Structure 1
Amino acid sequence: MKVLVVGFSKTGTKTMNQALQILGYSVYDYEHNFYYLRDEWTKILTKGGTKEDFYHMYKDVDATMDIPIVVFWEELLEAFPDCKLVFMRRKDEEDWIQSWEKQAQSVEDNYALKALSWFSPTARSIFRYSHHVGRIVFGSSSTCFYKAYQGISPTVAKKRYRDHNTSVLERAPKDQMIEFHMKEGWEPLCKFLGKPVPDVPFPHKNKGASLVEDYLRESPVFLRMKTEMKVILTVAVGIIGVGAYLFTNNYLKFPEWK
C-alpha cells in the first residue's frame, strides 16, 4: 500500500477517493472494505488482528480510507511503514458534526437501503458487518445498517473525531504526512505524492450528503445488491403467481371445496 488517507469520515474522503483514482491509484474506500474484506474486518473488530493480517488485507491495494480504516491507522502504518499519509479535517467540530448527522439521516431515510436489507443476501451480510463498525467507532448499538450511525451522542461523536485528529497530528511521522485542504486543489497533493498534475478539475464528491444516491447509482457493490433484490422479488412474485393459479384452478375444478 502506498497511500493511507487518515482524515476522519466526513472530511472529504469521497473526494479524495476520486482524486486518487484520477492519479492512477487503486483505492479501497468504505464500500470496498466492507465488500471484499468484511470477514477479515469482522475478525479484527470482534476477536483481534495482527500486523500480518493488515498486511495481507492491503498488500495488493494502492490506497485506502474511511471507517474503519482511520481507527486503525497506526496498525496499518506498522504494516506499511513507507506509505504516505493524507490527513484532512473540517474547519471545526460543529461543522463536522452537522455534516455527519446530515449523512446519517440520509442513510436512515433511504427506502432503497431498507429494501436491500430485506431482499439482498449481500446487503444482509454487509449490514451485519456495519453493526460491528458502528459499535467500535461510535458505540452504536443498532443492528440495522440504515440505523448504524443513528442514536449516537453528538458529544461522543465529536470526542471521537477530536481524539482521532489529535492522535494523527501528534503521532504520525511528519515527513510522511500532508495536511491537505480540498480548496488547495491538485498542486500540493501531487507534489507530495510525486505525481504530475492532471489536466482535469479537482473533483468534489458527496455534495450535500449525496453519498447514498451515488452508491445506488454508481457502485458495483450496490448495483449487485439491487440485482439480487430484483431476482429475489421476481422469483417471489412468480411463485406467488403460480400458487395463486394452482389454487384458483383446483378451487374451480373441485367445487365441493367451496
Structure 2
Amino acid sequence: MKVILAGASKTGTKSIAAALTMFGYNTYDWMENMIYLHKKWMKIFDGSATNEDIRKTFDGVDALTDAPVWIYWEELHKAFPEAKIILTVRDEDAWYRSQLRQMEVENTSYVVWLFNSVFPQGLIRRPYIMHISRFYGECFTWPSSYKRPHQKKMLCSQYRGHNEYVIKKAPKDKLLVYNVSEGWEPLCEFLGIEIPDKPFPHKNKNGDIFEEWVENNKIVQKYILEGVISVIFMSAFTGYLGYKFYKSTFGKNIFIAISKGVLNAKRYFQS
C-alpha cells in the first residue's frame, strides 16, 4: 500500500483517484471497495478484522480513496504503516455545497434508487451501504433534512473535526494536507513522482459521477443489465402467479366478492 486518502468525500477524492491511476497505482475508490470488497469491509466495520486480515484484503492494491476509506483511515494505516496519507481539504462552505449537490443527485437518481432498492447486487451490499450512510445521520434517511440549518452545522462540524483529528494523529513525515486546486506539484513532490505532461484531472464536479459510471463503467453497466433482467423476470413471474390465482376457483370467488363490494359501495354513495 502506497497511499491512503484520509480526505472526506467531496474534497476532490475522485480527482485524486484519477491522478493516482494515471501514476500507475492500482487504485480502489468507492466503487471498487463496494463491488469487490464489501464483505471484507464489514469485518473492518465491526472491529473484528486484524491487521493481517486488512493486509490480505488489500493485497496488490496501491491506493485507497473515498468512503469508507477516509472514515477508517487510522485502522488502515495501522495495517499499512509504510503508506503515505493524503488529507484533501477545501473551503468548508464550498465543501458543504458540494456535499449538498451530491446528496440531491443521489436522492433523485433512478439508478441509485434501483441499485439500492431493487437490483440484487445492490440488495446484497445494502448492509455495507447503510453502515457508511449512518455516518451522515439523518441526511440519508430523510431526503430533505440535509437542507435544514442544524444539518449544515452538524455536517460541517463533522468535517472540521475529522480534518483536525487527521492532522493531529497522522505521522507528520507521512502526511500531506492538500487542496486539489494546487495541481500536480505538491502531490508529485510528496509521492516522489515526476509531474505528468497532462492537465490535472477534475472529476465529479457537479455530482455527475453516477451518469459517468452508467455511460462508461463496465461494472455498473453489468449490474444494471442484471438488475433489469431480474425485474423483468420477477414482473413476469408475478404476473403468471396473478393469472393462475385469477383462474383458480378461490381467485374467482375473491374477484366476484370484490366486484360485489365495489358495486354495493357505489350504490350506497349514490343513494
1:112-127 correspondence runs (5 A): 112-127=111-126
Larger radius of gyration: 2
Alignment-derived partner of residue 194 in structure 2 = 196
1:7–1:87 contact (8 Å) kept in structure 2: yes
Instruction: Please state whether the residue corresponding to 1:71 is helix, strand or coil.
Output: coil
Alignment-derived partner of residue 136 in structure 2 = 138
Q: How many residues align?
A: 248
1:188-227 correspondence runs (5 A): 188-227=186-225
Q: Which stretch shows the higher mean deviation, 46-55 or 13-22?
A: 46-55
Alpha-carbon distance between aligned partners in 1 of 2:103 and 2:37, rounded to the nearest angstrom? 23
Alignment-derived partner of residue 153 in structure 1 = 151
1:29–1:64 contact (8 Å) kept in structure 2: yes
Alpha-carbon distance between aligned partners in 1 of 2:38 and 2:57, rounded to the nearest angstrom? 10
Instruction: Please state whether the residue corresponding to 1:196 is helix, strand or coil.
Output: coil
Alignment-derived partner of residue 32 in structure 1 = 32
2:139–2:151 contact (8 Å) kept in structure 1: no
1:1-258 correspondence runs (5 A): 1-46=1-46, 48-91=48-91, 93-135=92-134, 137-140=135-138, 153-236=151-234
Residue 150 to residue 227, structure 1, CA distance change in 2 (3 Å): farther
Alpha-carbon distance between aligned partners in 1 of 2:59 and 2:153, rounded to the nearest angstrom? 36
Q: Which stretch shows the higher mean deviation, 116-125 or 5-14?
A: 116-125
1:230 CA displacement: 2.5
In structure 2, stretches of 5+ residues that fail to align are 246-271
In structure 1, stretches of 5+ residues that fail to align are 248-258
2:2–2:63 contact (8 Å) kept in structure 1: yes
TM-score by length of 2: 0.79
Alpha-carbon distance between aligned partners in 2 of 1:125 and 1:237, rounded to the nearest angstrom? 20
TM-score by length of 1: 0.83
Residue 60 to residue 240, structure 1, CA distance change in 2 (3 Å): same
1:185 CA displacement: 1.7
1:2–1:84 contact (8 Å) kept in structure 2: yes
Per-residue displacement from partner, 1:187-219 (whole Å, max 9, x unpaired)? Answer: 221122122222221111001111221222223
1:238 CA displacement: 5.6
Residue 150 to residue 63, structure 1, CA distance change in 2 (3 Å): farther
Residue 41 to residue 223, structure 1, CA distance change in 2 (3 Å): same
Q: Which amino acid aligns with 1:165?
A: N
1:216–1:222 contact (8 Å) kept in structure 2: yes
Per-residue displacement from partner, 1:120-167 (whole Å, max 9, x unpaired)? Answer: 2111122332111122x23349679x99x8999322221221111001
Residue 239 to residue 199, structure 1, CA distance change in 2 (3 Å): same
Alpha-carbon distance between aligned partners in 2 of 1:75 and 1:118, rounded to the nearest angstrom? 30
1:71 CA displacement: 1.6
- Work out the percentage of aligned pairs sharing the same amino acid: 35
Q: Which amino acid aligns with 1:194?
A: G
2:15–2:203 contact (8 Å) kept in structure 1: yes
Q: Which amino acid aligns with 1:17?
A: A
Residue 19 to residue 231, structure 1, CA distance change in 2 (3 Å): same
Instruction: Please state whether the residue corresponding to 1:4 is helix, strand or coil.
Output: strand
1:63 CA displacement: 0.2
Alpha-carbon distance between aligned partners in 2 of 1:43 and 1:125, rounded to the nearest angstrom? 16
